[in-house]
Structure 1
């Protein structure tokens, strides 16, 4: 069995959560609905995305994914959490299970002195499940620009296309190792799209950045 200690939100994340829930117009605790760009004065915000899949004798195959875009505008502090968990339990080599959970989270923030607390992790577990395939992948993309910026329609269209292909990949019957490779390929496309987008962001002393946090866990193999 493979497991990773779950990160606990730090003081900044907790503070961002409290303020994000209080402030009107802030995305708050995010669901699978994309947040719109925040407007107005700087504020604190928090986003959390979590994908969980569980396969067992009653449900031999379960595959789930999430592709979310959170645009917060100009912020003082941001807490962003992205998580994928997959479990296969109680199946056998002759009657194996397949569990896949993939979470893609895109967060855009603006400001030259923004405090960011980002956590991204995955966990795949086989529980008495011989020959099962279990894969959890968390991909978190953080776009930081010094001045207010939002993704234009062309960029969103390209991201929507990647989202559709992620859905198809998650539902596929590809072996776990190949699925991992394909998911990494889609993550590379997302990074390229976001870098193209920030290349047209307003210029300032600080340069726009696109950062990918990636964590994969799976059976068989790592």
Structure 2
């Protein structure tokens, strides 16, 4: 049996001292994306967002590439759960008849409030089963924007994010090697981070400083 599975390791999360606590949890299967209701500026007790991208390549479909780019604006919350996952699987191919499976998921979550509890889970998982010579890449990027006062992304920021989304789509459909895909995906993530950082710089001030936190988890075969 030729099965490659990397050990499951939780992403390293940064715990914000007062306003936001980030706690990692083990990943489980997700049936689909559950959008959080946007209630920006309106009090609500809790919010949930679940986003997943899944790709499977096999001897029937040698190339499969999927990506998602979601923006969830929670508004003012007491507690929130944000889960982002990318899964890529390559099955039943060979060196002479190789497969290519790519899954990339970008999740942006904005939330307002002080002493808000956030449970953030972000995973990328790539698996090859009987798939020598296959390229399998899973990349999960999660951006958490936390502000003390109600905040929404302005039109300019949303247009910039939409442009990055279009370029992510083009990257996912490209034939670049997995190592180059990782580099390009990281570059797009850096652009998203800058757009969000510039946006929160204009957010209403409060007792706590607005923050942008990036969680990144990449997994892939070949491993180099």
TM-score between both structures, scaled by the size of structure 2: 0.86
Deviation at 1:158, TM superposition (A): 0.1
Deviation at 1:41, TM superposition (A): 2.2
Q: Secondary structure at the match of 1:193?
A: helix
Q: In 2 relative to 1, CA 68–158 (structure 1 residues): closer, same or farther, beyond 3 Å?
A: same
Deviation at 1:204, TM superposition (A): 1.4
**1:30 corresponds to 2:34:** yes
Q: Distance in 1 between matches of 2:188 and 2:41?
A: 30
The equivalent residue for 2:130 is: 128
Gap regions ≥5 residues in structure 2: 11-22, 25-32
Q: Distance in 2 between matches of 1:35 and 1:154?
A: 22
The equivalent residue for 1:194 is: 196
Deviation at 1:5, TM superposition (A): 3.6
Residue from 214, 217, 220 that aligns with 1:215: 217
Gap regions ≥5 residues in structure 1: 14-28
Residues 9-36 of structure 1: per-residue CA shift (max 9 Å, x gap): xxx99xxxxxxxxxxxxxxx625xx854
**1:3 corresponds to 2:6:** yes
Contact 2:40 2:152 in 1 (8 A): no
Q: Report how many residues are paired.
A: 202
Determine which structure has the larger strand proportion and give its number: 2
Q: In 2 relative to 1, CA 35–177 (structure 1 residues): closer, same or farther, beyond 3 Å?
A: farther
| Structure having greater relative contact order (Cα 8 Å, sep ≥ 6) | 2
**1:45 corresponds to 2:42:** no
Contact 1:108 1:144 in 2 (8 A): yes
Q: Secondary structure at the match of 2:5?
A: coil
Residue from 155, 158, 164 that aligns with 2:157: 155
Residues 65-107 of structure 1: per-residue CA shift (max 9 Å, x gap): 0000000000000000000000001001111000000000000
Contact 2:41 2:151 in 1 (8 A): no
Q: Secondary structure at the match of 2:139?
A: strand
Q: Segments of 4+ in structure 1 off by > 2 A?
A: 2-7, 34-42
Q: Distance in 2 between matches of 1:137 and 1:207?
A: 29
What CA RMSD, in Å, does the superposition of the two structures yield over aligned residues? 1.9
Residue from 100, 106, 109 that aligns with 1:107: 109
Q: Secondary structure at the match of 1:101?
A: strand
TM-score between both structures, scaled by the size of structure 1: 0.86
Superposed, 1:164-175 pairs within 5 Å as 164-175=166-177
Determine which structure has the larger helix proportion and give its number: 1
**1:67 corresponds to 2:62:** no
Superposed, 1:66-85 pairs within 5 Å as 66-85=68-87
Q: Distance in 2 between matches of 1:37 and 1:99?
A: 36
